[in-house]
Structure 1
Amino acid sequence: MGQAPPLSGSLRIYQRLVKADRSGQDAGQQQATARNGLRQVLANTLQAIGDQVVNAKTVLPWLFASLGAPALFIAFLVPIRESGSMLPQAALTPWIRRLRQRRMAWIGGAAGQAVATALMAFAAATMGGTAAGVVILAALALFALSRSLCSLAGKDVMGDTVPKGERGQINGISTALSGALAITLGLAIRLLGGNDVSPLVLAGLLAAAALAWVCAAVVYAGVREPARDAATEEAGRSNWVAESWHLLRDDRPFRRFVLARTLLLVSALSPPFVVALAAGVGGVGLGGLGPFVIAQGLANLIGGKPFGTLADRSSRRLMTWGAAIAAAVLILFLAALAVPGMRGQWWLYPAVYLLLVLVHTAVRVARKTYVVDMAEGDQRTVYVAVANTAMGVLLLAIGALSGALAALGAEIALGFLALLGLLGVLVSRSLPEVSRR
């Protein structure tokens, strides 16, 4: 019997990183998966590195403080960043579905994020006050719109180029790699930042983030998608408003997923309130930003790959546990604040922030894997788009409600979000299992 041909370098690396049952794939399919998978890992890692800098929960609020932008502008950061990337997706779906090479939409989205981040860097270096705030918010809106293209096209391309059982691991590896670099960034900020808030340092970080997205676009251009016929163009000419409504009305499992994802906002919306509470006990200089950036990086590094593996086994179960743990962390945090003397312990806030972003890493990997696994082909594109558009609307509503409650105190808002998390446990448990092969 002849010996099996030697594995290529890319296939060896991929098989070490991603564990899966490949008995149903021939050598050519394994090689194609490895090539596409590694490119997506690297491109997503570069994008995630940029996300650590263009962070509406940590870096951008610190930047606004250093520039003297009105405090009101800080309240718009998270809604513009999150909702802006979700709301347009259902409207963009018909255009995406007409593309035979959907990686081009991802490349365009990465380029748009690079331009938007460069505009933020320019404003940080040359402007101040209200003018800087307006330009940065406008650039963040462009950033969010561009991100919606990457979100739509990226899940579709992954679903067509990487088999079930491997997709969550790719998301997890990218998250872990970006986390390692975020820790380095956070340590540098902590050690070099001191008590002053320097806009020029943050402008330099934004410029480096813009370069990361340029590199990501170049890498992603090498992904090779399966051929799509002309029927995809006709499929993209439907009425997206009617299609979205019918999908939410008639597809019960999908509707429950959207509801579960809404309740999982507990891990997304609670960290800024923890940071706001921390600001009241010190650490408001640039050096104070470091522990929170480090916490974000640690969460990605620790949780990225393990959570990816767990998501491939059962993304539904991972979402359920994520909601439960996030709610428990908030309840314990609020109990700790009620203990005399604990409120002034500054270490408590980065520690709680770390736990919350670690849980959010699990939830994010799980929900991305779930929506990719629950459908095939163009239906996957529609699911992603409608889910994100619905989430954009719901995020604005829940964000406004939690913001109104925050006027009574950040603790009230955190209590409300903990309640959402408990409800999320019940809804997530009722979802059908889709991730197992």
Structure 2
Amino acid sequence: MLGTIIPARRFAIAMVRRMLQADLPAAVRSDEDVEAEVWRNYNWNFSVNVIDGAFFLLAQSLMSATTILPFFVTRLTDNPFYIGLLAVIANGGWFFPQLLSAGPIERTDRKKPWLINLGFFLERMPLVLLTATTLLAVSSPSWALALFLLAFATYNFGAGIIAPAWQDLLAVCFPATRRGRLMGVTMFVGGIAGALGAIGSSRILETLPFPRNFLILFGLATILMFAGWAVLALTREPVRQVPRTAESRLRIWTRLGRILRRDRNFRRFLTARGLLAVGGMGMAFVTAAAISKWDVSGGTVGSYTVALLVGQSASNLLFGLLADRKGHKVALVLGGLAAASGYVIAGLAALPLLYYLVFVLLGVYFSSTFVSGLMIVLEFTGPEQRPTYVGITNSIIGTINVVIPLLGGWLATISYGYLFALSAAAGLLGVLLMAFWVADPRHIAENT
């Protein structure tokens, strides 16, 4: 038995290494040579990644993990446990694997094969199975539910494995002073596409019978994800030999401890960023608070969603340009202030009309965490440790995002006022620490 397992394991490792092009040599290149190639391909890579982002966000609007997927699960079972399990898979599946893959990603010279070759099987193919589960929804809902959860977990786990490679690819393809506008434009264009997708998905769900409506939605989302994969494959990566250090071969937990002990500014950043994440606790409960206070209609809730998208889309472009000029820390501080202000208004509002402003401010916060929350991490270290820094940050913030809604749900049963007050206080503390305790990593790099 053992004699069969060992060759099979070696074959699997060899196939993965071949997919990742791990054994292909890479030239030792100067920073000036790489920088020249980056600028030469800047417009091409910018266009390719914006188009990929638009495809991705449009696909996500057709299989939203906060609206459409829970709705599909409710058609398969009336047990609310599976709705909660869906949220745990969505957050934990994407964030937690990043610590495991960060080390191997660091040791490979090419990042694009992680997304294109390995990502095809780990992230894109599971969506085919997810779509196919709709065919069992009527005849065997239990099997459909089991296969759906398996496909959804595989998709999120696969996305989590390759996520550090995606962020590292952006780091090597775009200068630090251009990443903000890349994310801002991507989120702006993708936000418009996502809004149109949300309108279309609502009509499909209303006009077509179950499960054909979900078959069409999931099928379209899968096609869009594969289209984005094909476009992303056109990215021109400036390949160079990554420095191999003794530390890069250490176990991830050993390296994590060393980084947190040595890098005081990064440790401070994680503390402030974690508090900002805790400050996001109230976001999921603002709509419920409005319904509880004034019994607002479904149409009003839909209008609140539009207000959220308006705040998000407008600030995407603003934060992108601001981050490129002043650094991502400024955008995170402004986003945190917007969220805290929104919670104060939500707690004190006497009219449902004021909740439109609340949702605009929360859209501003969401934009800052996506545009700058992801990109600022790339500036804390050089290319030799960048994936590990990404994995540490995303795993810690992901853990908070998984756990903190449970506290929010408990506080909501007592008082929405308490929930919003705690969210605002945590967010403000995070803003103060980010503004006055954390040094902007870009400015540190410029002064050294």
Name the TM-score class by shorter chain: 0.7 to 0.9
Once the 2 structures are TM-superposed, how far is the Cα of residue 400 of structure 1 from its aligned partner?
Answer: 3.1
Partners of 1:224 and 1:363 in 2: how far apart?
27
Aligned match of 2:317: 305
Structure 1 residue matching 2:236: 3-state secondary structure: coil
Q: How does 1:37-48 map to 2 (within 5 A)?
A: 37-48=46-57
Aligned match of 2:70: 61
Query: CA distance change for structure 1 residues 410 and 203 in 2, over 3 Å: closer, same or farther?
Result: farther
- In the alignment, structure 1 residue 257 sits paired with structure 2 residue 266: no
Q: How does 1:34-433 map to 2 (within 5 A)?
A: 34-107=43-116, 108-109=118-119, 111-124=121-134, 126-127=136-137, 132-189=144-201, 200-229=212-241, 231-232=243-244, 236-266=248-278, 268-277=280-289, 281=295, 291=303, 294-295=306-307, 297-312=309-324, 313-336=326-349, 339=350, 342=351, 345=352, 352-429=358-435, 430-433=437-440
Query: CA distance change for structure 1 residues 29 and 228 in 2, over 3 Å: closer, same or farther?
Result: closer
Structure 2 residue matching 1:79: 3-state secondary structure: helix
Once the 2 structures are TM-superposed, how far is the Cα of residue 232 of structure 1 from its aligned partner?
Answer: 4.3
Q: Deviations over 1:183-208 (max 9, x none)?
A: 21233355665599965434422222
Aligned match of 2:4: none
Partners of 1:413 and 1:31 in 2: how far apart?
50
Partners of 2:102 and 2:392 in 1: how far apart?
9
Partners of 1:199 and 1:350 in 2: how far apart?
34
Structure 2: 5+ residue stretches without partners: 1-32
8 Å contact kept, 1:266–1:323: no
Once the 2 structures are TM-superposed, how far is the Cα of residue 231 of structure 1 from its aligned partner?
Answer: 4.5
Return the letter of the residue paired with 1:426.
L
Q: Deviations over 1:282-301 (max 9, x none)?
A: 656xx888556645543443
8 Å contact kept, 2:61–2:195: no
8 Å contact kept, 1:110–1:213: no
Alignment RMSD, CA only? 3.3
TM-score (norm 1): 0.81
Return the letter of the residue paired with 2:101.
L
8 Å contact kept, 1:109–1:147: yes
Structure 1 residue matching 2:414: 3-state secondary structure: coil
Structure 1: 5+ residue stretches without partners: 1-23
Query: CA distance change for structure 1 residues 69 and 295 in 2, over 3 Å: closer, same or farther?
Result: farther
Query: CA distance change for structure 1 residues 189 and 275 in 2, over 3 Å: closer, same or farther?
Result: farther
The 4+ residue runs of structure 1 with deviation greater than 6 A are: 24-27
Partners of 1:268 and 1:170 in 2: how far apart?
24
- Number of equivalences: 406
TM-score (norm 2): 0.79
Partners of 1:74 and 1:423 in 2: how far apart?
32
Return the letter of the residue paired with 1:374.
F
Structure 1 residue matching 2:131: 3-state secondary structure: helix
Which moved further from structure 2: 68-77 or 93-102?
68-77
Query: CA distance change for structure 1 residues 29 and 122 in 2, over 3 Å: closer, same or farther?
Result: closer
Return the letter of the residue paired with 2:271.
L
Query: CA distance change for structure 1 residues 106 and 116 in 2, over 3 Å: closer, same or farther?
Result: same
Partners of 1:167 and 1:50 in 2: how far apart?
23
8 Å contact kept, 1:111–1:214: no
Aligned match of 2:441: 434
Identity of aligned residues (%): 23
8 Å contact kept, 2:62–2:68: yes
